[in-house]
Amino acid sequence: MGELRVRDVSEKELLARILRVLGPASRAEIGPGDDAAVLAVPGGRIVATTDTLVHGPDFRLAWTSPYDLGYKSAAVNIADVAAMGARPTALLVALALPDWLPATFVEALASGFRDALADLAPGCAVEGGDLTVSETLTVAVTALGVLDGVEPVRRSGARPGDEIAVAGELGAAARGLRILFDRFRDAAGTPVPIDRDVLTPAEQHDLDAQLRPRPPIELGVLAARAGATALMDVSDGLLLDASRIADASRVTLSIDVDLDDDALSGGEDHALLACFPAGSTPTGFEVIGHVRVRGDAAVLAQGAVPSTRGGWDPYADWDSALG
């Protein structure tokens, strides 16, 4: 019986161990466990979240340009701010860089950050950061946001009778990842550069969803204003993330529309998943189901218990041999 290692425990279990050690010190309105923390500050409150992209498990340089890496790093972080019903206002970006990287790489990365914020969250800017060297290229981003007069929307407020709705595309990012793994690796499994010319327009679309996601940031505040009872960022797959709302709200989420496996289980879509009181789902969101009194299952798909919750845990899926 060997020592328990990080690879032997799920991310959830590892987080639980950390939170047990940290104890009940949090003074936040919303502390660890939601998309972002909500912190009281004199006269107001802010939303804060952090997410890291690491070469290997989260991206491969053979496939991801520095511009796309910056774009995605910004997008996935502000998506977590939006998922609280808040408006992103500032990023702090910590870069840990291999010293052999071209200096222009860093500039292209910064361009990706700049353009993602201009596209998705005008008014939000990189306000600070840190530079260090590392053998592993790592982009650690903290996003801050403000609640424009609305209450933060947690995962725990869904009520039976609510509509379940989604803003943004489901499944495309997973299809894009499959394109990378299936078609842009050599015989040894090593990533090779992408040739977009061999891809259909639909495949290019899916690839873009994986490499340069465009989450519907502005719909986060809209959802909060429309009275969303629960809201989250779909980053680990619809079924898994829906089960998180279901468990937090002690209800069952019934997905009524017909969705394929990519839409149900594919990760990294960064769509917004919301629950709204019946009839109040706002424009921009599409109703995909309804909330029921808690049954045996956290989530139902077209009336049946899904065979898998889907989603991905980077601890389980990472194969460092893929390089």
Task: Using the rule CB under 8 A, give the single segment among 97-105, 169-177, 206-214, 272-280 that binds a second copy.
Answer: 97-105
Minimum CB separation from a second copy for residue 245, in Å? 19
Residues 25-64 that bind a second copy (CB under 8 A): 25-28, 31-32, 36-37, 39, 41-46, 48-58
Minimum CB separation from a second copy for residue 227, in Å? 21
Kindly tell me which of 51 and 162 has the beta carbon lying closer to a second copy.
51
Please check if 162 is assigned to a binding site.
no
Please check if 129 is assigned to a binding site.
yes
Q: How far apart are CA 176 and CA 178, in angstroms?
A: 5
Q: Binding pattern to a second copy, positions 140-169, x when CB under 8 A?
A: x-x-x-xxxx--------------------
Please check if 247 is assigned to a binding site.
no
Kindly tell me which of 61 and 101 has the beta carbon lying closer to a second copy.
101
Q: What is the DSSP string of 179-209?
A: HHHHHSB-TTS-B----GGGS-HHHHHHHHH
Minimum CB separation from a second copy for residue 152, in Å? 13
Q: How far apart are CA 192 and CA 190, in angstroms?
A: 6
Q: How far apart are CA 210 and CA 179, in angstroms?
A: 10
Q: Is 244 in the site for a second copy (CB under 8 A)?
A: no
Closest-CA residue to 10 (of 272, 311, 323, 262): 311
Minimum CB separation from a second copy for residue 3, in Å? 5
Q: How far apart are CA 70 and CA 52, in angstroms?
A: 12
Q: Is 92 in the site for a second copy (CB under 8 A)?
A: yes
Residue from the set 62, 74, 103, 282 that interacts with a second copy by CB under 8 A: 103
Q: How far apart are CA 73 and CA 113, in angstroms?
A: 7
Contacts of 174 (CB under 8 A, 6+ apart): 210, 237, 262, 265, 266, 267, 268, 269
Q: Which helix (H) or strand (E) holds 299?
A: strand 299-301
Residue from the set 75, 96, 164, 167 that interacts with a second copy by CB under 8 A: 96
Kindly tell me which of 36 and 251 has the beta carbon lying closer to a second copy.
36
Q: Give the single-character DSSP code of 250.
A: T
Q: Say if CB 273 and CB 164 are below 8 A apart.
A: yes
Minimum CB separation from a second copy for residue 98, in Å? 7
Please check if 138 is assigned to a binding site.
no
Kindly tell me which of 94 and 287 has the beta carbon lying closer to a second copy.
94
Going 53 to 319 to 20 to 36, the CA torsion angle's sign is positive
Please check if 313 is assigned to a binding site.
no
Minimum CB separation from a second copy for residue 269, in Å? 18
For the chain, the first-to-last Cα distance in angstroms comes to: 30
Please check if 292 is assigned to a binding site.
no
Measured over all CA atoms, what is the biggest interatomic distance in the chain, rounded to whole angstroms? 59
Please check if 80 is assigned to a binding site.
yes
Q: Say if CB 255 and CB 288 are below 8 A apart.
A: yes
Q: Is 106 in the site for a second copy (CB under 8 A)?
A: yes
Cite the annotated binding site for Mg(2+) by residue number.
35, 49-51, 80, 130, 233, 236
